[in-house]
């Protein structure tokens, strides 16, 4: 990098982008610029609006307001085809390849050449040459299904390069890669920027961002919190603070901490994720009666798997005790009977059945017991009365108890799930991202419900990406990174900078090396 980066011309400029989905403003006056020959990281938590912004740039969504300039000229994309014609291509998290076809066939798919005869040899040569040029090692004749995920990702990149993309948008490219494959990807990205191409790199892994990106833009709740910050002077702690932001919610009143007996004991538990890679490594923690233990971790560090393992939805190795009884690898129904309630991360397909009525959704944990159950039958009247009672007590706004769950707003759906779970009078509640996507009022009512449960002697394991939420509610904070518990402290000793550092793989020793908040270009 001999040229002064700031002097390079802009490849893409987005100004004042607004994109609203029903109930959510995913992008609110977002500015973003990308220079030629740079890797620009886009950093933020899930739901911060990163993918929305990039889908606008790639022609998948059309912005409600704002403009996009490519090489200084305004453009209006109607489809990804328009975007790729302007040189912008995106590699999505879910690949768009035909498994039964070869690499070359996939690269050519949708192009108007070859006209009729495939002349595979010639095109295989072209694809191979392109692959070699950028270090994208893949056999042009291999069928897609024979390739590893990393190789498939290379084919996606080849497709875009073959179509002449000068700007590559990679949506969390390393999420599916093994560490070595990620290193190879970085080499490829470097070789592309060396040719003057530009890369947008969406991620929420701080270490990677600092390793590969020239600049970083941080988003939080649909807004940019740091625009085009050079990574040269930035630290993980700075970035973590920008990602998780400052408190927007008041700390709710809470009763004094009066812990009782250990309700949940996790000893040396390891588990795999859906792709069969290690997600939890030797995790141990305790949750006591009357205690909220908050798990602070960036998405994908094993906390989702922790919730599933404890609730019987994922196999594991190690020991899990609820009230002294072993529940590891027992079916979910057994864990339920031990008084474990669960507010799942995915509230629309796990926490509720979208097309079933509110009644059907509210009796999900009670249909086996009287009064809702009447022998082998479900007592219709009792079920409706039960649902109506919960609806009134927890103020679930819905036209009636027959309304399908999918018609409920996010906040009401979450209240319905909490109502159902808390009503079982659980000894232990596993709450995963209980306030994600909710507005401030709904967040407060969810927090109130959790604190009431705690005051009543319930044990709560709270898994959240919102550090503020953990600090406001938890009595104890455990930090997870790469599947391990890397720190555990009472909330009084938990301080946002320290936790942010632990969450992102830093050690306590790194902490004082760079002063927090010294980085330039920080909004507000």
**CB-CB neighbours of 484 under 10 Å:** 16
Q: Is 357 in the site for another protein (CB under 8 A)?
A: yes
- The span of 134-142, 157-165, 172-180, 327-335 binding another protein (CB under 8 A) equals 327-335
Q: Is 325 in the site for another protein (CB under 8 A)?
A: no
Rounded Cα–Cα distance for residues 229 and 405 (Å):
42
Q: Is 386 in the site for another protein (CB under 8 A)?
A: no
Between 402 and 495, name the residue whose CB sits nearer to another protein. Answer: 402
- Structure tokens, 194: 């060396």
Q: Is 276 in the site for another protein (CB under 8 A)?
A: no
Between 368 and 395, name the residue whose CB sits nearer to another protein. Answer: 368
Q: Is residue 214 within 8 Å of residue 231, measured between CB atoms?
A: yes
Q: Is 352 in the site for another protein (CB under 8 A)?
A: yes
Least distance between another protein and beta carbon 377 (Å): 5
Q: Is 382 in the site for another protein (CB under 8 A)?
A: no
Least distance between another protein and beta carbon 360 (Å): 6
Q: Is residue 505 within 8 Å of residue 482, measured between CB atoms?
A: yes
Cis peptide before 371 (omega within 30 of 0): yes
- The span of 76-84, 193-201, 233-241, 252-260 binding another protein (CB under 8 A) equals 76-84
**Phi, psi of 415, rounded to the nearest 5 degrees:** -65, -40
Among 380, 439, 492, 495, the residue binding another protein under the rule CB under 8 A is 380
Q: Is 227 in the site for another protein (CB under 8 A)?
A: no
Helix or strand or coil: residue 70? strand
Among 215, 342, 447, 476, the residue binding another protein under the rule CB under 8 A is 342
Least distance between another protein and beta carbon 418 (Å): 14
Q: Is residue 431 within 8 Å of residue 343, measured between CB atoms?
A: yes
Rounded Cα–Cα distance for residues 363 and 53 (Å):
39
Among 79, 132, 393, 400, the residue binding another protein under the rule CB under 8 A is 79
Chain centroid to CA 207: how far?
17
Q: Is 344 in the site for another protein (CB under 8 A)?
A: yes
Rounded Cα–Cα distance for residues 309 and 251 (Å):
30
Q: Is 390 in the site for another protein (CB under 8 A)?
A: no
- Structure tokens, 334: 């057994």
Least distance between another protein and beta carbon 309 (Å): 14
Q: Is 364 in the site for another protein (CB under 8 A)?
A: yes
Binding mask 392-421 for another protein (x = CB under 8 A): ----------x-x--x--------------
Helix (H) or strand (E) holding 133: helix 120-133
- The span of 2-10, 36-44, 95-103, 348-356 binding another protein (CB under 8 A) equals 348-356
Q: Is 85 in the site for another protein (CB under 8 A)?
A: no
B/e letters for 87-116, b = 16+ CB within 10 Å, e = fewer, are: bbbbbbeebebeeeebbbbbbbeeeeeeee
Q: Which of 350, 498, 335, 348 is nearest to 408 (CA)?
A: 348
Q: Is 305 in the site for another protein (CB under 8 A)?
A: no
Residue 458, CA distances (Å) to 264, 286, 295, 305, 341 in order: 11, 13, 17, 22, 11
Q: Is 274 in the site for another protein (CB under 8 A)?
A: no
Q: Is residue 491 within 8 Å of residue 471, measured between CB atoms?
A: yes
- Can you give the binding site for another protein, defined by CB under 8 A? 22, 60-62, 76-79, 82, 311-313, 331-336, 342, 344, 346, 349-357, 359-360, 363-365, 367-368, 373, 376-378, 380, 402, 404, 407
């Amino acid at each position: 990098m001999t040229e002064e980066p700031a002097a390079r011309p802009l490849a893409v400029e987005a100004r004042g982008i607004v994109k609203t989905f029903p109930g959510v403003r995913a992008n609110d006056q977002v500015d973003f610029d990308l220079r030629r020959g740079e890797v620009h990281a886009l950093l933020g938590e899930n739901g911060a609006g990163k993918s929305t912004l990039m889908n606008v740039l790639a022609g998948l969504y059309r912005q409600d307001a704002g403009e996009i300039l490519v090489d200084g000229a305004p453009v209006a994309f109607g489809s990804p085809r328009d975007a790729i014609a302007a040189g912008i291509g995106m590699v999505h998290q879910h690949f768009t390849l035909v498994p039964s076809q070869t690499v070359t066939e996939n690269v050519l798919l949708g192009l108007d050449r070859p006209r009729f005869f495939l002349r595979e040899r010639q095109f295989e040569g072209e694809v191979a040459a392109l692959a070699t040029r950028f270090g994208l090692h893949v056999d042009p004749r291999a069928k897609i299904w024979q390739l590893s995920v990393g190789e498939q990702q290379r084919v996606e990149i080849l497709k875009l390069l073959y179509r002449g993309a000068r700007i590559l948008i990679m949506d969390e490219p390393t999420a599916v890669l093994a560490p070595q494959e990620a290193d190879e990807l970085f080499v490829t990205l470097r070789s592309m920027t060396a040719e003057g191409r530009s890369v947008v790199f969406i991620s929420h892994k701080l270490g990677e961002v600092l390793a590969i990106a020239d600049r970083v833009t941080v988003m939080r709740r649909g807004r940019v919190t740091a625009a085009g910050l050079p990574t040269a002077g930035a630290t993980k702690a700075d970035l973590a603070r920008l990602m998780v932001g400052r408190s927007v919610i008041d700390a709710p009143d809470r009763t004094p901490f009066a812990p009782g007996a250990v309700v949940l004991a996790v000893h040396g538990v390891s588990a795999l994720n859906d792709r069969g890679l290690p997600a939890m490594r030797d995790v141990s923690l305790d949750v006591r009666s009357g205690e909220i233990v908050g798990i602070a971790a960036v998405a994908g560090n094993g906390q989702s798997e922790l919730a599933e393992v404890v609730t019987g939805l994922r196999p594991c190795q190690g020991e899990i005790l609820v009230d002294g009884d072993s529940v590891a690898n027992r079916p979910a129904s057994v864990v339920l009977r031990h008084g474990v309630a669960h507010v799942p991360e995915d509230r629309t397909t796990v926490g509720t059945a979208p097309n079933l009525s509110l009644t059907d959704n509210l009796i999900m944990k009670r249909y086996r017991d009287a009064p809702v159950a009447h022998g082998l039958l479900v007592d219709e009247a009792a079920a409706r009365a039960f649902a109506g009672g919960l609806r009134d007590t927890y103020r679930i706004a819905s036209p009636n108890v027959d309304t399908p769950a999918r018609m409920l707003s996010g906040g009401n759906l979450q209240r319905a799930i909490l109502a159902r779970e808390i009503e079982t009078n659980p000894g232990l509640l596993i709450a995963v991202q209980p306030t994600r996507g909710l507005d401030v009022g709904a967040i407060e009512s969810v927090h109130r419900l959790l604190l009431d449960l705690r005051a009543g002697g319930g044990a709560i394991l709270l898994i959240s990406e919102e550090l503020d939420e953990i600090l406001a509610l938890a009595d104890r904070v455990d930090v997870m990174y790469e599947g391990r518990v890397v720190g555990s402290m009472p909330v009084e000793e938990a301080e946002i900078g320290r936790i942010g550092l632990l969450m992102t793989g830093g050690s306590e020793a790194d902490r004082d090396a760079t002063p927090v908040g010294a980085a330039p270009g920080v909004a507000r």
